[in-house]
Chains A and B, each alone.
Chain A
């Protein structure tokens, strides 16, 4: 290295923090500081006014004893299970069917379109589709199927299931795209060899493709878990958590406890619980993703 570049490296070393400071500053001030405050408040009885008084694990215990919060916990679990199955399976099917298809890119487009729409708009559309005797009911009636007069969103856990369907409508295309990226990374030779051996269709998929799709599946499932834990927009628009609290998710309870009931401590405890589970899920799939990177 010449003397001038050495000198520049030194100058760079001195000025460099100035370039990093805006990013670190805004993240520290608006994300980390609130994070710490929420963590502290979750162990108190804070109601937004006055000084928080330490209350230990009271708020956390309530999450597992208060019937409304237990209901929200159950619904959130339902969301996680629903979102790692329905849109993931649909995404895989769409990916496998479109991959290598002459018009694959175009045939994938209808599934990708809902991804460009906001959760709020998805809620508006599906709230309309699922009205009692609405669009879905009329189709069922036309086909002579039962359920034409069902109030899809009027009782739990059916309302949660229908909102999972609505969200799957939005998420399947993205999952398909991720699976296509996974399919593209599979070397062609072993596939051709298997084909020559007479493997076809489902058998080819099961023995050749599926094992190689495991890494990307982990990513898709991980992202689905993380996303479903935060479910808020669609529920907020379609049912507001109701009727009663029958379709409330933890993300919704957190909002209600904090901003409707002024129960800041309780809201904070729910937030921290969600964060921990999200973090655990992220570590799980990121570890797989990184391990996959190492093996290549």
Chain B
């Protein structure tokens, strides 16, 4: 575009808007850093003192974030990895192995994204309660994997479609087994797509509230977002800086991941994941 597109008016508007956007983040950081005793509700804009790590510690203890952090990390890593592999396998079957009625399979699996979570919550709760999966880490991993599979299958099928047929034929002529071709040729080629899916799904799992709220209750199983809302319910007392410190703490991993992998996020958006 031409020079006027970086004009001072435009830049000024963007800077003012940007500052307004950052104001809540500023308030979060400043007030999460205040000592609980020194917190003054009439002066929230003014920074005072630095007790961020004490507040982190309090949030950690009171919301039992320690145990839940371990569990949530486990879910956010294991479930997306499983989903990526399962999605890649079906993508490979449809594209490379020319699975019969491949498009029907694809529509069936991708159709899993259409209905909102509300549609499956109650039966999952009942089913988990009667099968002993309720309030277990395995149960949480299974449900997060299931939710992530349709999107993963969608991306992997599209990605594998872009790989020349001759790659597969050459591998077969070389005498590779179908599983070996999948593992040592197709998966390594899909590195960037696998990473993009992984990052998006890990963020989804980390940020989930509804499934965690419904399918777990104990401190060692319950994911981090429901745990934080538990801390929030003590709202109103002196613990406000603690609550905010908790909110900051649970946001750090996804914000860091986001900043480190911005292009993956953009790509995921272009693919239609919201």
A4 touches B (CB below 8 Å)? yes
A interface residue count range (under 10 / 10 to 19 / 20 to 34 / 35 or more): 35 or more
Given contact pairs A110-B18, A131-B41, A177 touches B266 in the complex (Cβ within 8 A): yes
A152 in the interface (beta carbon within 8 A): no
In the complex, which residues 1-32 of chain A have their Cβ closer than 8 Å to any Cβ of chain B?
2, 4-5, 8-9, 11-13, 15-20, 22-24, 26-32
What separation, in Å, do the CA atoms of A134 and B244 have in the docked complex? Answer: 14
Cβ-defined contact, B115 with A232, below 8 A: no
In the complex, what residues of B have CB within 8 A of residue A236's CB?
A: 209, 229
Contact among B28, B123, B172, B235 for A37, CB-based, below 8 A: B123
Nearest CB of chain B from residue A262's CB, rounded to whole Å: 10
Fill in one digit per residue for B136-150: 1 if any A CB lies within 8 Å of its CB, else 0: 000000110111011
> CA of A9 to CA of B14 in the docked complex: distance in angstroms?
57
| B97 contacts chain A at the CB level, 8 A cutoff | yes
Given A26-B86, A114-B21, A121:B120 Cβ within 8 A: no
Is A107 within 8 A of B18, CB to CB?
yes
Determine the chain B residues whose CB is within 8 A of the CB of A123 once the complex forms.
232
Q: Which residues of A contact B142 (CB under 8 A)?
A: 26, 30
Contact A107 B178 (CB under 8 A): no
Is A129 at the interface (CB under 8 A from chain B)?
yes
User: Are A128 and B87 interface neighbours, CB within 8 A?
Assistant: no
Binds B, one of A60-68, A156-164, A252-260: A252-260
The chain B residue with its CB closest to the CB of A124 is B247
Can you list 16 A-B pairs with a CB-CB distance of less than 8 A? Answer: A22-B86, A31-B150, A33-B123, A34-B121, A101-B11, A117-B251, A117-B255, A118-B206, A118-B250, A121-B250, A124-B244, A127-B232, A177-B266, A177-B269, A227-B274, A282-B114
Which B residues have a C-beta under 8 Å from some C-beta of A? 1-2, 4-6, 10-11, 13-15, 17-19, 21-22, 24-25, 27-28, 31, 41-42, 44-45, 86-87, 89-90, 92-94, 96-100, 105, 108-109, 112, 114-127, 142-143, 145-147, 149-150, 153, 169, 172-173, 178, 182, 203, 206-207, 209-210, 213-214, 225, 228-229, 232, 235, 240, 243-244, 246-248, 250-251, 254-255, 257-259, 262, 265-266, 269-270, 272, 274
- Measured CB to CB, the residues of A under 8 A from B are 2, 4-5, 8-9, 11-13, 15-20, 22-24, 26-35, 37-38, 41, 48, 94, 97-103, 107, 110-121, 123-129, 131, 133-135, 138-139, 169, 173-174, 177-178, 181, 195, 200, 219, 223, 226-227, 229-230, 232-233, 236-237, 251, 254-255, 258-259, 264, 267-268, 270-272, 274-275, 278-279, 282
